[in-house]
Structure 1
């Protein structure tokens, strides 16, 4: 029998709504029509250690944990030539893995590492607040500069990720696109990393809002990306991209869900998904987003 698909809510939204404990968060999740939660770093301490006992009598799944915050640039980089940057990134990932082990989540979602360019850095590459100041021409210049140092940063990233993926097992590392344009987030970068780490079962976690933002600037879209990386696909974010940012209500922005949905409805099983909502979203927005996803069989 095929595994049941899961559409989870990102915990950042739930914790922003003032839930007093993880049980309240789980009940709120179910009331809004979702069947899972993905813990993530936030400004509020959440007692995730209580979650396994809470969900024993609730139909809630924990498909993954997110290692990186949604609204702040992650500490360090596994593609850095500086030891302190690599150590900071490893510490962040290991903290996330500890939570994943606590809650029994199979995946730890980790953003592709940022890249230090040779020569002058480019300002404003982290687009967590949208794509202001970027266009196709500027992205092309950045991609050319990334290509010039591609061999070096991919070699460093693969070596560091090999150690990290081994260290956090049995939690499975799931690489996803970073909102930082100066990162190893192009489909060909991710494919090369996955191929190199094939023996460690590193997964790919699709992030269509980030891909749509990059596509609006001339990058590859979800269809092309998923075609290249589908054999490694472990799950997907389902948030939309709009002028309000990368946590928009599904159906309100630039993501083409008709491209994404067929890959989530695998012939073998329904893959886990998560929708991260902006804290400003209300309950009605979440119900609207869930209803929209259902039109695609998600």
Structure 2
């Protein structure tokens, strides 16, 4: 249903805000029996048992971030409001989560928890050893933090919550995740339909059968007079083509066949980007090839 991404400095109070958001959303769901099928899931470093010291080293941080993203993808669903409570300080990672949400057709928003660095240092020092960032790591993360912006699509809608505020913008968040716009998946990340393994063989055999059937039909009618012509490609399948008034030569047909096959070979190799399901069986290939011939043979 929705993805809510929290972002902010380490030790800025994001987890407290995440719990506030979770409680608010659960109360809203409880008020409406029609929404009883929905659930609120809070995903965090703590829930995934990711220790603070992974941020001491980029080599250990990368697999931790991958584990968070994998868990996020598993939890995404039409009946789930997913709150991601993590540093999320890299804009590229926020964009990655945004794209995943679009793939699942979820509404999105970002909550930016704004806290002064001195306050973060103070709160970090009050934490237990296992929940505390080292001083050097904390300072390093301050420098590396990439602030969310409402001007970029993967951070918007953006709700900024100062650390001095007692309440969260619950009503605005609720409206965004329930009636906000659902953006379609990016074309670049959309799953590409792959052709079956025998598609290339079917392409070659079917186009050759169409060419042979046209030449045989013209020979039988001694050149013919153009117009609709029934082509019997097999005992169980036939198609119809509108031929030019003059006889079509074998070289013309072979030229069109080469062009048609070359284009469709690329689609088979790289995956089709055509809308809907593309038929790669004999009938589907024959129909498309016949249409191609009617458009490209000289009248």
TM-score normalised by L of structure 2? 0.28
Which has the larger Rg?
Answer: 2
TM-score normalised by L of structure 1? 0.28
More helix by share: 2
